[in-house]
A and B are shown apart, each in its own frame.
Chain A
Amino acid sequence: MSLLSLSGVTRSVDLPDAPPLHILRGVDLEVSVGDHVSIVGRSGSGKSTLLNLLGLLDNPTEGEIRFDDKRISAMSGNERDRCRGRNVGFIFQQFNLLSGRTALENVMTPLLYASGQQFWRRKQLALDMLGRVGLDSRAQSMPEKLSGGEQQRVAIARALVRGPRLILADEPTGALDVETGATVMALLDEVAEASGAALITITHDVNVAALARRHYRLDQGVLAPVDVKRVLALQPGATP
């Protein structure tokens, strides 16, 4: 079943004294429940713009985005915000943990915007989630006291604590060394699979992209399937 679909999505911005700049052109993408998709692209290829659209943070100039078969453009701002809060979990390159708050308080933050049991039991849910990423012993630690890998695990716990159906990971290993990055990605993959959420990883690292089941390349605003294994094989130092 299609969770998120983009059809013919174009995003352009008007420039003063110049023709409009087309950042994304005719993007088509179908993401189903439990899917793992990677999108690779160089800087300036339109990755951030695509992330905004996938995360229900922006509207396309042309084309249509549907979430759960509902047209995003038909939703009001508040409906879209609530839909995002319930269904989408973000993981950022720079972790973006809230300073001055413990790991536990960071994981509890998305639950402040939930309702019912999720809101009232937010502390227990956050502790459980920290346990799942192996950080229950660091619940009271401040972000600056955690290593990069630990910070990203807190960010993963925070993204997953509301049980999202779609996880958007924006360069999730960009600020980590290779070994820690691999560990974090393995964890992310495992937790996403266990929760049945779809995972979209946006990265410029082909090795990270290769962990997904479907792979796309974004080049000059055009999204196209790519054979990552072939790309990996062409990389310097690769064995035939």
Chain B
Amino acid sequence: MSGLVGAFSEAWAELRIHKTRVLLSLIGVAVAVTAITSVVGLGAIAQQATTESYERSSGRPASLFISAYNPTSGEAPDADTITEAFDTAVERYSVRWSTRSAYTQVFVQFIDGVTPVDATIVDADFGTMHRVKLAEGAWFVDSDADRLAPALIVNEVIWNRMGSPDLATHPTVTLDGPTSMTAVIVGVTPSASFETYPLMFMLTDAYSRISTPEQRANLFPQYEMWVPPEISDQLTPLIKRDIAGELGDGWQVDVNRQDYLAFSGEDPLLPLKLIVGGVAVLVLLLGALGLVNISLVTVRQRVREIGIRRSFGATAGRVFFAVMMESVVATLAAGVIGVFLAVLIVKSPMVTDFIGQGVTDLPAFPLEAAVIGLGAATLVGALAGLLPAIVAVRVKVIDAIRF
């Protein structure tokens, strides 16, 4: 016990006395740790941005898409029948998130004329399942289906064309069709700079009320469930069997995963992770080389001191451990500073906005980044201390004292 405490005391005293040298070596290591931790932290945000981008287009893992058709004629079953079969399966397996989605065109009366607008007809769960991000207002709630004036979520192109009205004033647009209808805008989705065409979301039940039977017959909705990935393989054949049973003979039912994790056993973000990790390791190696250099020069300058300590009874093991500890204690302190700086960098609004464009669930600073930073600092300290420690142990005592 006293040996361990003594070695720590010795290492700490060395660091205190050689402040300038320690500070110089710390700067290099702290910069390296800041770099590696920031890269890992920013990588996590970039990874989240990529993941969310995948999830917006093809749903979250595991998203099961259900389709049914007549293998002979190719025609789809009646929408009400398949919807009922889908709803039964959702209820039977207690699926928390499910939605229908279909694409159609709706004519909107603007002040300068009628414009066709691409509309996505969905259920309320779609917003969560596809991470729909809103610039203004809120996503649909189930009660929106009961509104007499259908609720709409429009993109910024439409909203700007209307003069960007305050949603608290319940702005409306007129939907042209067989019968004109007023709709209320409850939310606005952001539009990228390249996005110049108007888009909108409408609830399926609301669309059913305003559309003609012919329009509904041509809708061809997709049916989608978001289920836990670990049971998706078990659920797939069961859902297929149940829906096929509900539809009766003559219908082919397919249930497929289409989320980004469905297409390959490997993580599609692996190349990104490898590149980020490679850069981080390179940065750390450069920091370590600088530290080894400083440590070696320092030990050569301390030969006499090491000799004196040996004459007091310091064993070779103790000298080795003390020199290693100096290096590790110093780099660990540098690691703490480096991680702190990395948190400041990664969480700064400027960096977050730049790297995490469009991210709805901005991840917290990843704990693994901090652990990697501190672990790397300790490892670098141990490796950088190894060579000087070996040199220190080989010192010949009396020659060193007379050095």
Contacts and interface: CB of A to CB of B under 8 A. Distances in A.
Interface residues of A, number: 31
A78 B316 contact: yes
A92 B397 CA distance: 13
Interface stretch (B52-60, B75-83, B306-314, B344-352): B306-314
B364 interface: no
A58 B398 CA distance: 9
Contacts of B401: 92, 96
A100 interface: yes
**Interface residue tally on B, bucketed by range:** 20 to 34
B2 A115 contact: yes
A119 B398 contact: no
Given A48-B402, A105-B13, A115-B2, A96 B313 contact: no
Interface in B126-171: none
Q: Summarize B's interface: helix, strand, loop or mixed.
A: helix
Contacts, number: 69
A114 B317 CA distance: 15
Interface stretch (B3-11, B64-72, B260-268, B277-285): B3-11
Nearest to B398: A52
A77 B316 contact: yes
Contacts of A120: 2
Nearest to B2: A119
Contact of A115 (B3, B305, B310): B3
A57 interface: yes
B30 to A, nearest CB: 23
B17 interface: yes
A90 B311 contact: yes
B318 interface: yes
B274 to A, nearest CB: 46
B318 A48 contact: no
B241 interface: no
A62 to B, nearest CB: 20
Contacts of A28: none
B2 A81 contact: no
B360 interface: no
Given A84-B311, A85-B313, 16 more contacts: A57-B310, A58-B398, A77-B315, A78-B315, A78-B316, A78-B317, A85-B314, A98-B305, A100-B18, A105-B13, A112-B10, A113-B315, A113-B318, A115-B2, A119-B2, A119-B5
Interface of B: 2-3, 5-6, 9-10, 13, 17-18, 304-305, 308-318, 397-398, 401-402
